[in-house]
Amino acid sequence: MSHLLEVKNLDVKFDTDEGRITAVENISLSVDQGEVLGIVGESGSGKSVTAKSIMQLNPGNTSYNEDAQIILDNENVLKFTSKQDLKKIRGGKVSMIFQEPMASFAPAIKIGAQMVEQLLIHKNINKDEAKSISINMLKRVGIADAEKRFNQYAFELSGGMRQRAMIAMALSTMPKLLLADEPTTALDVTIQAQVINLIKDIIKEYQMGVIFITHDLGVIAQVADHVAVMYLGSVVEKGPVNEILKNPKHPYTKGLLEALPDINNLDEPLRPIPGNIPSPLDRPTGCVFRTRCPHPCDNCREGKTEMGLIEVEPGHWVDQCCINCG
Amino acid sequence: MRENLISVNNVSVNFDYQENFISKKQKIHAVNNINIKIKKGSFFGLVGESGSGKTTLGRAILGANKISSGNVIFHDDERDYDLTNINKQDLKEYRKKAQLIFQDPYAALSPRMTVRDIIAEPLEVMRITNSRQETDDRVRDIASKCRLNLEHLRRFPHAFSGGQRQRISIARALVSNPKFIVADESVAALDVSIQADILNLLKQLQNELNLTYLFISHDLSVVAHVCDIVAVMYLGHIVEMAPSRKLFKNPKHSYTKALLSSIPSIDPENKSRAIELKGEIPSALNPPSGCVFRTRCPNPCDNCRNGNTEMGLIEVESGHWVDQCCVNCN
Backbone angles phi, psi at A8, to 5 degrees: -125, 125
Measured distance CA(A171)–CA(A175) in Å, rounded: 6
Contact B265 A256 (CB under 8 A): no
Backbone angles phi, psi at A229, to 5 degrees: -100, 125
Considering just the CA atoms, what is the radius of gyration of chain B in Å? 21
Measured distance CA(B38)–CA(B8) in Å, rounded: 8
Asked if A13 and A155 sit in the same domain, the reply is no
- pLDDT at residue B231 tops 60: yes
Q: Which of A195-204, B128-137, B288-297, B308-317 has the highest mean pLDDT?
A: B128-137
| 3-state per-residue secondary structure call for A90-126 | ECCCEEEECCCHHHHCCCCCCHHHHHHHHHHHHCCCC
Beta pairing, strands B313-317 & B237-243: unpaired
ipTM for the assembly: 0.79
A64 Ramachandran zone, left/alpha/beta (phi>0; psi -120 to 50): beta
In the DSSP assignment, the letter for residue B179 is S
Query: Does A39 map to a domain?
Result: yes
Q: In the prediction, which pLDDT does B330 show?
A: 61
Interface of A with B in 47-76 (CB under 8 A): none
Query: Does A98 map to a domain?
Result: no
Query: Does A143 map to a domain?
Result: yes
Query: For the residues of B208-241, what is the DSSP string, one character each?
Result: HHT-EEEEEES-HHHHHHH-SEEEEEETTEEEEE
Q: In the prediction, which pLDDT does B123 show?
A: 94
- CA neighbor of B208 nearest in space, from B170, B154, B182: B170
**Closest-CA residue in chain A for B256?**
A190
**Closest-CA residue in chain A for B279?**
A191
- Nearest CB among B193, B220, B263 relative to A259 is that of B193
Task: Using a CB–CB cutoff of 8 Å, tell me whether A222 touches chain B.
Answer: yes
Asked if A134 and A255 sit in the same domain, the reply is no
Q: What angle do CA B259, B260, B266 make, to 5 degrees?
A: 125
Contact A218 B276 (CB under 8 A): no
Question: Rounded to a whole number, what is the distance in Å from the CA of B69 to chain A's nearest CA?
Answer: 29
Q: Locate all alpha helices (DSSP H) within A3-93, ordered by sequence.
A: 47-54, 83-89
Beta bridge partners of B34: B11
Measured distance CA(A274)–CA(A269) in Å, rounded: 15
Asked if A126 and A245 sit in the same domain, the reply is no
Measured distance CA(A188)–CA(B292) in Å, rounded: 18
Chain B residues with CB-CB distance to A289 below 8 A: none
- CA neighbor of B285 nearest in space, from B27, B33, B2: B27
Asked if A75 and A124 sit in the same domain, the reply is no
Question: Rounded to a whole number, what is the distance in Å from the CA of A69 to chain B's nearest CA?
Answer: 31
Asked if A223 and A316 sit in the same domain, the reply is yes
Chain A residues with CB-CB distance to B219 below 8 A: 189, 261
Considering just the CA atoms, what is the radius of gyration of chain A in Å? 21
In the DSSP assignment, the letter for residue A127 is H
Chain B residues with CB-CB distance to A226 below 8 A: none
Asked if A164 and A184 sit in the same domain, the reply is no
Measured distance CA(A208)–CA(A31) in Å, rounded: 10
Burial class (CB in 10 A: 0-12, 13-18, 19+), B6: buried
Interface of B with A in 270-289 (CB under 8 A): 271, 273-274, 276-277, 280
Q: Locate all alpha helices (DSSP H) within A141-188, ordered by sequence.
A: 146-150, 159-171
Asked if A192 and A271 sit in the same domain, the reply is yes
- Nearest CB among A196, A215, A246 relative to B264 is that of A196
**Closest-CA residue in chain B for A144?**
B279
Query: Is the Cα dihedral B218, B221, B226, B232 positive or negative?
Result: positive
Contact B192 A191 (CB under 8 A): no
Backbone angles phi, psi at A64, to 5 degrees: -105, 155
Asked if residue B167 lies in contact with residue B147, where contact means CB atoms within 8 angstroms, the answer is yes
Number of helices and strands in chain B (H, E): 11, 12
| Tens of pLDDT, residues B11-28 | 999 998 887 888 888 888
- Nearest CB among B162, B164, B266 relative to A217 is that of B266
**Closest-CA residue in chain A for B278?**
A194
CATH code of the domain in which A306 resides: 3.40.50.300
Chain B residues with CB-CB distance to A241 below 8 A: 268
- Nearest CB among A221, A262, A269 relative to B264 is that of A221
Number of helices and strands in chain A (H, E): 13, 13
Task: Using a CB–CB cutoff of 8 Å, tell me whether A271 touches chain B.
Answer: yes
CA end-to-end distance (rounded Å), chain B: 41
- Nearest CB among A161, A189, A217 relative to B218 is that of A189
Query: Does A135 map to a domain?
Result: yes
Task: Using a CB–CB cutoff of 8 Å, tell me whether A219 touches chain B.
Answer: yes
| Tens of pLDDT, residues B48-106 | 888 889 999 999 999 888 899 999 999 988 888 998 888 999 999 999 999 999 888 88
Question: Rounded to a whole number, what is the distance in Å from the CA of A292 to chain B's nearest CA?
Answer: 12
Asked if A125 and A240 sit in the same domain, the reply is no
Out of B63-67, B149-153, B164-168, B191-195, pick the least confident: B191-195
Task: Using a CB–CB cutoff of 8 Å, tell me whether A158 touches chain B.
Answer: yes
A237 Ramachandran zone, left/alpha/beta (phi>0; psi -120 to 50): beta
Of A123, A138, A173, the position where a domain reaches its end is: A173
Of A173, A197, A229, the position where a domain reaches its end is: A173
- pLDDT at residue B278 tops 80: no
pLDDT band at B1 (very low <50, low <70, confident <90, very high): low
**Closest-CA residue in chain A for B267?**
A221
Question: Rounded to a whole number, what is the distance in Å from the CA of B121 to chain A's nearest CA?
Answer: 27
Distance of CA A16 to the CA centre of its chain: 24
Query: For the residues of B258-284, what is the DSSP string, one character each?
Result: HHHHHSPPS-TT--PPP-PPPS-PPPT
Asked if A46 and A189 sit in the same domain, the reply is yes
Question: Rounded to a whole number, what is the distance in Å from the CA of A256 to chain B's nearest CA?
Answer: 6
Backbone angles phi, psi at A293, to 5 degrees: -70, 135
- Establish, for the pair of chains A and B, how many residue pairs have beta carbons separated by less than 8 Å: 120
For A201, B116, B156, the CA distances from B111, given in Å and listed in that order, are 45, 12, 7
* Beta-carbon contacts of residue B117 (< 8 Å; ≥ 6 apart): none
Measured distance CA(A217)–CA(B71) in Å, rounded: 42
**Per-residue pLDDT tens listing for chain A (326 residues):** 589 999 999 999 999 888 888 999 999 999 999 999 999 988 888 898 999 999 988 888 899 998 999 999 888 998 888 888 888 888 889 999 887 777 788 999 999 999 999 999 998 899 999 999 999 999 888 888 889 999 999 988 887 888 889 989 998 888 999 999 988 887 788 888 888 888 888 888 888 999 999 988 989 999 999 999 999 999 999 999 999 999 999 999 999 998 888 888 888 888 888 877 888 788 888 888 888 888 888 888 888 888 889 999 999 999 988 777 75
Chain B residues with CB-CB distance to A222 below 8 A: 264-265, 268, 271
Query: Is the Cα dihedral A50, A55, A61, A67 positive or negative?
Result: positive
**Closest-CA residue in chain A for B272?**
A222
Asked if A66 and A209 sit in the same domain, the reply is yes
Asked if residue B124 lies in contact with residue B135, where contact means CB atoms within 8 angstroms, the answer is yes
Of A140, A173, A206, the position where a domain reaches its end is: A173
Asked if A134 and A265 sit in the same domain, the reply is no
Q: In the prediction, which pLDDT does B171 show?
A: 95
Backbone angles phi, psi at A248, to 5 degrees: -70, 140
CA end-to-end distance (rounded Å), chain A: 36
User: What is the pTM (predicted TM-score) of this model?
Assistant: 0.86
Q: In the prediction, which pLDDT does A150 show?
A: 94
Chain A residues with CB-CB distance to B193 below 8 A: 42, 255-256, 259, 272-273
Q: In the prediction, which pLDDT does A35 show?
A: 92
Count how many domains chain A has.
2
- Give the residue numbers spanning the domain of A135: 103-173
Beta bridge partners of A36: A210
Measured distance CA(B25)–CA(B29) in Å, rounded: 13
- Nearest CB among B193, B200, B220 relative to A255 is that of B193
Query: Does A316 map to a domain?
Result: yes
- CA neighbor of B174 nearest in space, from B211, B134, B219, B204: B211
One-letter amino acid at B7 equals: S
Asked if A191 and A306 sit in the same domain, the reply is yes
What domains are defined for chain B?
Answer: 4-227 (3.40.50.300), 254-330 (no CATH)
